[in-house]
Structure 1
Amino acid sequence: MTNAGQQQPRASFDTWGPWALLAAGAVAAALSAPLTGMSRAGMILCAVLVPAAVVLQLVWGRLRRGRPGPSRTGVCLYALRWAIAFVLTWANPFFAFYAVTGYYTAARELPRRLVMPGLFLTAVTMAGSEIGGWPPHGVILWVGFFLVLAVNVSMVSVFTRYAQQEQERSRVQADTIAELERTNTALQQALDENAALHAQLLLQAREAGVADERRRLAAEIHDTIAQGLTGIIAQLQVVAGAPDLDTARTHLERASTLARHSLGEARRSVHNLAPVALAADGLPEALKKTVTEWGERTGVRAEFTVTGTTEQLHDEVSATLLRIAQEALSNAARHARATRVGVTLSFMGDEVSLDVRDDGAGFDPAAVPERTAVGGFGLDGMRARAERIAGLLTVESEPGHGTAVSARVPLVRDDR
C-alpha cells in the first residue's frame, strides 16, 4: 500500500509535469522577450519548436503507456527533447523551465550506462541558461559557464548517487517485506496444520479413551463384580445344604460381605466412567479437592501446588491428568506407606506437567512386571493415558527413598 501511495504522485507528475514546465517556459519567454532582446528569428524558432515539443510530449506519453521503462525509443525521444530544449534555451534562457525535465526523467527513460551522459547534457543546457543564455560572450562568461557547469554536474552526481542508494534501499526493503510475507504465510499454514493435527490428536485420544474405558470396565466387571457374584452364589449354595444354623449363618455373613464389596466395586466402576470432579471445576480445583479428600481419608499429609499461569485446558487433557493423579495417589495409599505426599500442577508455555511425589518405601521400577492390556491401571495404565494425548510419563523411585511420578502433556486449551 505504501509503494502504491508513493507511485501515484510520481505517475501524476510524469504525466502533467512536462506540460506545466513547457507552459511556464513559454509564458516566461513571451513576457521577457523585450527584456532579453529576443530576435525575430528566435521568436520564429520558438513558435516552431514549442508546438514540436507538444507533439513530442504527446507521442512520448503514448509510447510510455505501451512500453514503460528504458528503451532505445526512450533514448531517441530523450535526445530529441534535449535538443529542442537546448535550442529553445538558446533562443530564450527562460525555457530552462522546460529543459529541467531532463533531470528527473533520465533515470527512468535511459539505460543505466546512459543516465550520467543524459544528465550531463541537461546540465550543459541549464548552465547556459544560468549565465544569461547562449552563447556566452567573452572569456569571463565562458569561465563562468564552466564553473556553473561544474557545480551543476557535481550536484547532479551527488543527488543521482543518493537517489540510486535510496532506490537500492527501497528494493532491498521491498524484497525483505516480500520475504517476511512469504515467511508469515508459511508460518500461518504451519499453525493451521498444527491446529488440525491437535484436533485430530484429540479426536483419536477420545476414541482411544472410549475403547480403553470399555476394556477397563470389562476387566473390572470380570475381576470384581462377576467374581463377587460367583462367590455369593457359592455361599448361598452352601447355606442351602448347611447341616446346622450356625454354619448357615456363617455363610450368609460371608455372602453379605461379598455383596457389600461387590456393590462398592460397582459404584467405583460407575464413578470412574467420567471424572465427576471436573463437572463443575477446572483441573486445579479438582486436583486440590482430590488431594485434600485423599489426605483426610488416608491420614497422610498431602499438599497441592500450582505453578505458572493457570489456563483452561481441553476436557481430554484435564481428565487424563486427573486420572493419573488419582491412580498415583491410590498406589501411594496401597503400597508406599508414605507420611507425606506432594502434588504439583505446572503450566509451562506449551506444556503442562503433573508431579506426584511421596516419601514412602519406594521400589525398583525395573522390577515391576508389565501388566496386560485389560489388567487395571498401574504404571502402564498411567503411561498409556499420557501417551494417548502425545504426552510422556516417567517414574523415579528406589527402595527406601520414595517415588516420583511425572506426567508431561501438550497444553491444549479449551476453545469453547
Structure 2
Amino acid sequence: MATTAAPVMLNNVATDAMAAPPTDDYWERIYRWGPWVLLAVGTILSLASAKLLMTPAERVSALVLVAGAVCWERWWWRRDKDAVYFTGRTVLAFVLSWLNPFFVFYAFIGYFDAERLLPERWVRVGLLSTAVTMAGSQIGGLPPSGLTMWIAFGALFAINSSIAMMMLRISAREETRTQERIDAIAELERTNHLLEQAIFENEALHAQLVLRAREAGIDDERRRLAAEIHDTLAQGLTGIVTQLQAAQNTVDPVVAEGHVERAAALARRSLSEARRSVQNLVPQALEHGTLDEVLGRAVKMWEADSGVTAVFTVTGTAEPLHDDIGATLLRITEEALANVSKHAGAGRVGVTVSYMEDEVSVDVRDDGCGFDPSAGSVRGFGLRGMQSRAARVAGEVTVESEPGAGTAVSVRVPLVREGTVG
C-alpha cells in the first residue's frame, strides 16, 4: 500500500503545482491590447490639453503621428511582434511625447514587453530608451528648458532607469523560479514514471519469485522424500532381504526363525519410518531419547545385523538437540553404516559423537578396503543424500579414504539446541 501510494503522492504534487492559476493568457492580453489602450489614453489626454501645451502645427503633427501609430499597431496585430515593432513603437512614443507629455502613456508599455520582444543584449537599451521618454514627459516635455530642468531630467532618468533595471532583475528572478518549478515538475513526473515502472517490475518479480519458491519447495520436498525412502525403505528392504536369505541358507530351524523375526522387525520399523517420513516427522527413535542414546542403540543393532564389531563413543557434554539436527545426524550415520555393510568388508567400525561449543559432529570410521575418492567411485545416491541432508541444516560431510586403509565419514553441523525456533 505504501509503495503504491508513493507515485500517487508525487503525481498529486505535480498536479497541484500545474494547477496554479495560469498567467500566460493574462499577459497575452496585456501585450495585445495594452498598446491600444495606452495610445487611446494618451491621445485623449493630449487632446484635452492640446490648446495649453501644443501649437496648431504640433496638433496636426500629433494627429498624423497618432494615425501612424494606429497603422503601425494594426500592421502588427496578426503578426508575431519583434524588435522591429518595439523600435518603431518606441520612436513614435518618443516623438509624440515630445509634442505632448501625455503621450508618455503610449511609451509606458515598453517597460513590460522589452524583455519579450528584444534580443537579450538589447533589452537594457530598450528599457533605457523608454526611461528617456518617461523622464522627458515628467519634466513637462522635451527638450528641457534651462539647467534646472536638465538636472531634473537627469535625476528622473536615473530614477526611471533604476526602476526599469530593478524590474528586469525581478523578472529574471521570477523567470528562474518558474523554470525551476517547471524542471521540478518534470523531475517529479519522471520520478513518478520510474516509480510506477519499478512497482510494475517488482510485482512481476514477486510473482516470479513466488513461482520459483513454489517450484523450489516442490523440488526440495521431492528430494526429502527420496532421501527418506532411501534411508528407510531401501535400507529396511535390504536388511529384510539379507535376513531372509540367511534364514533360507541355514539348516538350523532356531537360527532361521531368528533371522525371520529380525526381518519382520525390520519390516515393521521400516513401515513406521516410511509413514513418518511422508508426514515429515522426526524419526520415532528420537522421540524417546537423546541423539547419543539413539545412535548407541542404532550402532548396537547394526552390529548385531552385520556381525561387524562396532564401538560407539561420545565426547563432550551431551545436549538435547533440535529435531532437524538430530534427525540429520541419525540419518547420515545410518547411511554411512549401511555403506560399510555393502562395500567396506570391514572387521571393525568406530562411531564417535562429539559435542563442541557451537558444533556437533559424528565420525564413522572403518578398517575396510577403502577406495580412491578422486577416482569417482563414490558418487552414488547415498553420499549425495548425506551431503544434501547436511546442507539443509548448514552442515557439511567429508569423506577420507584410500585403498586398503579404510574410510572415514565425518559430518559436522551447527549445535542448535532443543526448543530453538528455526
Report TM bin, short chain: 0.5 to 0.7
1:331 aligns with 2:342: no
Q: Determine if contact 1:219/1:376 at 8 Å carries over to the other structure.
A: no
1:29 aligns with 2:63: no
SS at structure 1 position matched to 2:140: coil
Q: Determine if contact 1:85/1:95 at 8 Å carries over to the other structure.
A: yes
Question: Residues of 2 paired with 1:335 and 1:259: CA distance?
Answer: 22
59, 76, 82: which one aligns with 2:75: 59
Question: What residue identity is the alignment partner of 2:83?
Answer: V
Deviations 1:352-375 (A, max 9, x none): xxxxxxx9654389x999985444
Q: Which residue matches 1:15?
A: 32
Question: Residues of 1 paired with 2:32 and 2:272: CA distance?
Answer: 92
Residues 373 and 132 (structure 1), Cα distance of their counterparts in 2 relative to 1, 3 Å cut: farther
Residues 95 and 221 (structure 1), Cα distance of their counterparts in 2 relative to 1, 3 Å cut: same
Shift of 1:103: 0.7
Question: What residue identity is the alignment partner of 1:59?
Answer: W
Q: Determine if contact 1:107/1:115 at 8 Å carries over to the other structure.
A: yes
Sequence identity, in percent?
A: 44
Q: How does 1:17-416 map to 2 (within 5 A)?
A: 17-33=34-50, 36-64=52-80, 74-172=82-180, 174-175=182-183, 177-179=185-187, 181-182=189-190, 185-186=193-194, 188-190=196-198, 192-232=200-240, 253-272=261-280, 329-331=323-325, 362-363=358-359, 372-375=383-386, 377-382=388-393, 402=415
Shift of 1:239: 7.5
SS at structure 2 position matched to 1:5: coil
Q: Determine if contact 1:298/1:333 at 8 Å carries over to the other structure.
A: no
**Worse-matched range after superposition: 149-158 or 254-263:** 254-263
**Worse-matched range after superposition: 372-381 or 216-225:** 372-381
How many residue pairs are counted as aligned between the two chains? Answer: 313
Q: Determine if contact 1:103/1:119 at 8 Å carries over to the other structure.
A: yes
Question: Residues of 2 paired with 1:296 and 1:29: CA distance?
Answer: 115
Q: Determine if contact 1:22/1:97 at 8 Å carries over to the other structure.
A: yes
Shift of 1:116: 1.0
Q: Determine if contact 1:220/1:376 at 8 Å carries over to the other structure.
A: no
Question: Residues of 2 paired with 1:383 and 1:256: CA distance?
Answer: 36
Any gaps of 5 or more consecutive residues in structure 1? 69-73, 276-289, 301-326, 337-358, 385-397, 405-416
Question: Residues of 2 paired with 1:208 and 1:373: CA distance?
Answer: 18
Question: What residue identity is the alignment partner of 1:27?
Answer: I
Deviations 1:165-193 (A, max 9, x none): 33344445544554555455456545544
Question: Residues of 1 paired with 2:254 and 2:65: CA distance?
Answer: 139
**Worse-matched range after superposition: 112-121 or 82-91:** 82-91
Deviations 1:219-255 (A, max 9, x none): 3223312333454566567778998987677556544
Residues 267 and 49 (structure 1), Cα distance of their counterparts in 2 relative to 1, 3 Å cut: farther
Q: Determine if contact 1:128/1:134 at 8 Å carries over to the other structure.
A: yes
Residues 37 and 364 (structure 1), Cα distance of their counterparts in 2 relative to 1, 3 Å cut: same
Q: Determine if contact 2:93/2:104 at 8 Å carries over to the other structure.
A: yes
Shift of 1:154: 1.7
Q: Determine if contact 1:235/1:254 at 8 Å carries over to the other structure.
A: yes
Q: Determine if contact 2:93/2:106 at 8 Å carries over to the other structure.
A: yes
Question: Residues of 2 paired with 1:57 and 1:256: CA distance?
Answer: 117
Residues 242 and 379 (structure 1), Cα distance of their counterparts in 2 relative to 1, 3 Å cut: closer
Any gaps of 5 or more consecutive residues in structure 2? 1-17, 292-320, 331-354, 365-372, 374-378, 396-411, 418-422
Deviations 1:321-352 (A, max 9, x none): xxxxxx9642157769xxxxxxxxxxxxxxxx
Shift of 1:151: 0.9
Residues 37 and 210 (structure 1), Cα distance of their counterparts in 2 relative to 1, 3 Å cut: same
Residues 229 and 27 (structure 1), Cα distance of their counterparts in 2 relative to 1, 3 Å cut: farther
Question: What residue identity is the alignment partner of 2:325?
Answer: N
SS at structure 2 position matched to 1:63: coil
Question: What residue identity is the alignment partner of 1:363?
Answer: E
Shift of 1:119: 0.7
Question: Residues of 1 paired with 2:20 and 2:162: CA distance?
Answer: 30
Residues 266 and 163 (structure 1), Cα distance of their counterparts in 2 relative to 1, 3 Å cut: same
SS at structure 2 position matched to 1:57: helix
Question: Residues of 2 paired with 1:374 and 1:42: CA distance?
Answer: 115
Residues 238 and 296 (structure 1), Cα distance of their counterparts in 2 relative to 1, 3 Å cut: closer
Q: Determine if contact 2:102/2:137 at 8 Å carries over to the other structure.
A: yes
Q: Determine if contact 2:54/2:99 at 8 Å carries over to the other structure.
A: yes
**If you compute each CA radius of gyration, which structure gives the higher value, 1 or 2?**
2
Question: Residues of 1 paired with 2:212 and 2:251: CA distance?
Answer: 59
TM-score (norm 2): 0.59
Shift of 1:265: 2.7
Q: Determine if contact 1:89/1:125 at 8 Å carries over to the other structure.
A: yes
